[in-house]
Amino acid sequence: MPEIVAVIGATGFQGGSVVKALSALPNQYIVRGITRSTTSARVVELQAQYPNVQWVAADLKDPASLRKAFRGVDIVFGNTNYLQAEIFAQVDAGDLDAEFRLGQNMVDAAIAEGVKHFVYSSLESPEKVGGPEYRGAHEPEGKHKIEQYIRSNKDKISGYFVYAGFYFQNFLLSAQWDTSVGSGKDAVVFTYPLPADASLPYVDIEEDLGATVALALSNRSEYSGKILAAVEGSYTSEEITKAFTRVTGVPARYQYGVIPEIDRSDINTMLRFFIEFGALTKQDLTIAKNNASRPFTTLDQFWAKYASFRPE
């Protein structure tokens, strides 16, 4: 009999990837997409794309709604979004546990409803790796605290932890046209707050986060309590930009610059940690692509998928 999997944030990059991967395995899983509004345009679009997915409204701030959404569920995939104005406002007011409480609500609701397995999209602690100067990297610290909370309840629920690399998709979100190139031809400029030569792990989050979760669930005895890294390979921003031109034929260049929406001391501290130490420094993790049921999306394959992409 198929297991019921509740997917938090089912309309987003991570949750959407899990919905895609698990809904393709109908003999194993019944997918229940959890979102704040089941009548949004995005949900209507996904309903047409995945007609067998159940859609249930719940809010991470509302434990009662989570319990209702988790009723009868065998597995929960959970992630929390630090990058939202409400969380920023709470953190700026001194509430450093704003994200942690959302994760705690998920875990407590899952345990209360008898859910057996919890897959959480986590990150490592910059402070533990780099020392006190990285204590201000509140996003990964909050996610790591949620991971530790799940681990502290291992007698009640089995935890599985996915660490995702940087998203290839981030380059789509920061692109704009630049017409100042010497040839006079329009070119795409990608802006990101990382040095052009900083090599960091990347993944096609829309495709391969879901494949990583599917791997964890298909090998639970092996991966319970373990960390799976959702990473295709390590690339510099310059390499990603050159690949765009190589695949699409469109001139492009990269510039190291701030993104106003996330130009904050806590985010900049996190990025500084990644630049200095790299991401995914833990030695006790499994690289998911080495064991997944299909190859991960390469950089060139990613740009081929978005060959028609042009900044608006």
Using the Cα atoms of residue 98, residue 100, residue 101 and residue 106 in order, give the sign of their dihedral. positive
**Structure confidence by residue, pLDDT tens digits, 24-49:** 999 999 999 999 999 999 999 999 99
Where exactly are the structural domains of the chain? 3-305
pLDDT of residue 162: 97
Measured distance CA(261)–CA(68) in Å, rounded: 34
Measured distance CA(287)–CA(184) in Å, rounded: 44
pLDDT of residue 180: 63
Question: With 60 as the cut, is the pLDDT of residue 125 above it?
Answer: yes
**Structure confidence by residue, pLDDT tens digits, 240-293:** 999 999 999 999 999 999 888 999 999 999 999 999 998 888 778 999 999 999
How is residue 22 written in tokens?
């698990």
Question: With 80 as the cut, is the pLDDT of residue 163 above it?
Answer: yes
pLDDT of residue 177: 87
pLDDT of residue 181: 52
Average pLDDT, the chain: 95
- What CATH fold (topology level) applies to the domain 3-305? Rossmann fold (3.40.50)
pLDDT of residue 201: 96
